[in-house]
Amino acid sequence: MTDVTSREKILKKIRKALTNKSSQEIGDVDLESEIYVSSDEPLEIQFAQKFSALNGKFVFCENETEFLENFSFFSKDNDWKSIFCLESSIKNILNKGQIKFYDKEDDFAETDIGITFCECLIARTGSIMITSKQGSGRRLPVYSNNHIVIAYTSQLVNNIKDGLKLIRDKYGSQLPSMISTISGPSKTADIEKTLVQGAHGPKEVFVFLIDDVPLAD
């Protein structure tokens, strides 16, 4: 009698399983319930803690004036020189603070600092959600050595599901061709198991969060 190989035994079990289908009914899958333990902390605190734990640099600003003061301080402290910006609203803010920046395509390859807005901030994971429909496009968030994100407290959402809902509500049937999240600086340990930051994108990511939510009466 010929010995039955392990492979043949496995194939026999698979064929039997496919022939004799289970009569057990699978209930409806609950896609709405939260899978994380809820937190009593405000969303900005949750985001700051998670983002900082991912080696992101977080700066809270009470208003745009304070943002300009903080940005000027960090710019001098980190010797930021080649600042590149494409979004008109950010240009207006920088012009108010007399902060020099570049916005011409010819200057793009030389940029070291890229400034963008974002679609929203995910408090649960400390992530920044961006899309290709933003004025900064696909390249700027990943090209520069330092990525600076300007966000507002009204853009904070609890989790990724809420962020995707925001995108759907904003763009309707014309969804962006790219929706992505940034969770701290780019890093990898693929090469000889040595951690390297900036391998596939910015070495540092800053989030300047500007408070635009009025206090409750």
Minimum mean pLDDT among 145-149, 151-155, 199-203: which range? Answer: 199-203
> Residue 35: inside a domain, yes or no?
no
| pLDDT beyond 80 at 103 | yes
pLDDT single digits (tens) 27-79: 666 666 666 667 789 999 999 999 999 999 999 999 999 999 999 999 999 88
> Residue 34: inside a domain, yes or no?
no
Residue 109, domain extent: 41-187+195-210
Name the helix (H) or strand (E) containing 77. helix 64-77
Strands (E), 2-55: none
**Residues 150 and 67 sit within 8 Å (Cβ to Cβ):** yes
> Residue 106: inside a domain, yes or no?
yes
In this structure, what CATH number is given to the domain that contains residue 164?
A: 3.40.50.10420
* Number of domains making up the chain: 1
The first and second tokens of residue 101, run together, are: 């920046």
SS3 177: coil
pTM over 0.75, yes/no:
yes
| pLDDT beyond 90 at 130 | yes
Structure-model confidence comparison of residues 37 and 176, the more confident one: 176
What's at 103, amino acid-wise?
D
> Residue 89: inside a domain, yes or no?
yes
pLDDT band at 197 (very low <50, low <70, confident <90, very high): low
> Residue 8: inside a domain, yes or no?
no
Which of 72, 101, 115 lies closest to 202 in space, CA to CA?
Answer: 115
Write phi, then psi, for 156 (nearest 5 degrees).
Answer: -75, 130
> Residue 33: inside a domain, yes or no?
no
Q: How far is it, in rounded angstroms, from Cα 46 to Cα 36?
A: 13
